[in-house]
């Protein structure tokens, strides 16, 4: 390992572009090093920084273990990846993009289920009728479990969903979902609604610092410099 400050950035999609824009506006121009398809990069004028381009959920993993010093990724992924998120990372700056709410959504036709408390009661009668627990499809297993337990909802089972979660109820893979939404349009198009008290987290991309990374006084200096430029 080098003794450079490792900055983990999203490797693809809109989030990658938005990160590059934000950094460029702050005077931090990221250039991919090596071949153009490479997953490494550097920032002009900051020789102590090494950029790693990885997927958003890997960024959370890197920050959790300290494999990266700094990273930009969604708060939803950070809190999903780490139960003890606030003990492992410091949120330095919300980025103002990558907005997504993690919500509990049920079929809109469930007029009898409007709050989380209704969900628990419904789960009891569902089990009586169907002989099994009501299923919740999500890729946010930990966020969902923590939120349900906070709300006193227990009579359910989580089903891991790796994509197109909003289609799970119609496909009879689950009865309800925990998923991200920005405008709610996708949920509505799939005949779903968000419960009144069903917003688990209002998330956006954040610049985050890992407490577990190998920090030296010099790297802290570099961190301050990067954070200061981004905060202007």
Nearer of residues 33 and 154 to other proteins, judged by Cβ: 154
Interface characters, 153-182, with other proteins (x: CB under 8 A): -xxxxx----------xx-x--xx------
62 binding other proteins? (CB under 8 A):
no
Closest CA to 148 of 221, 198, 192, 201: 198
With CB under 8 A as the contact rule, the residue among 58, 76, 80, 120 that binds other proteins is 120
With CB under 8 A as the contact rule, the residue among 4, 93, 145, 229 that binds other proteins is 145
Instruction: Report CA 27 to chain centroid distance, whole Å.
Output: 26
Look up tokens 């300290």; give the residue: 66
Nearer of residues 13 and 152 to other proteins, judged by Cβ: 152
CA distance linking residue 138 with residue 159, whole number of Å: 6
87 binding other proteins? (CB under 8 A):
no
132 binding other proteins? (CB under 8 A):
yes
184 binding other proteins? (CB under 8 A):
no
Nearer of residues 53 and 156 to other proteins, judged by Cβ: 156
Which chain residues interact with other proteins by CB under 8 A?
A: 83, 107-112, 114, 117, 120-122, 124-126, 129-130, 132-133, 145, 148-149, 151-152, 154-158, 169-170, 172, 175-176, 190-192, 196
């Amino acid at each position: 390992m080098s003794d450079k400050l490792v900055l983990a950035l999203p490797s693809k999609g809109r989030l990658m572009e938005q990160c590059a824009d934000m950094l460029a506006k702050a005077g931090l121009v990221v250039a991919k090093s090596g071949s153009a398809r490479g997953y490494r990069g550097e920032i002009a004028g900051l020789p102590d920084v090494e950029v790693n381009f990885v997927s958003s959920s890997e960024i959370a993993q890197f920050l959790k273990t300290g494999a990266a010093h700094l990273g930009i990724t969604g708060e939803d992924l950070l809190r999903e990846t780490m139960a003890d998120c606030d003990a492992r990372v410091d949120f330095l700056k919300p980025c103002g993009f990558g907005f997504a709410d993690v919500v509990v959504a049920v079929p809109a036709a469930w007029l009898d289920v409007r709050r989380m408390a209704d969900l628990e009661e419904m789960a009891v009668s569902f089990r009586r009728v169907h002989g099994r627990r009501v299923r919740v499809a999500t890729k946010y297993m930990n966020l969902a479990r923590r939120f349900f337990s906070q709300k006193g909802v227990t009579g359910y089972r989580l089903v891991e969903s790796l994509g197109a979660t909003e289609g799970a109820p119609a496909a009879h893979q689950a009865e309800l979902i925990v998923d991200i939404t920005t405008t709610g349009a996708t949920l509505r198009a799939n005949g779903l609604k968000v419960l009144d008290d069903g917003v688990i987290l209002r998330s956006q991309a954040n610049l985050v610092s890992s407490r577990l990374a190998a920090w030296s006084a010099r790297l802290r200096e570099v961190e301050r410099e990067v954070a200061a430029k981004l905060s202007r």
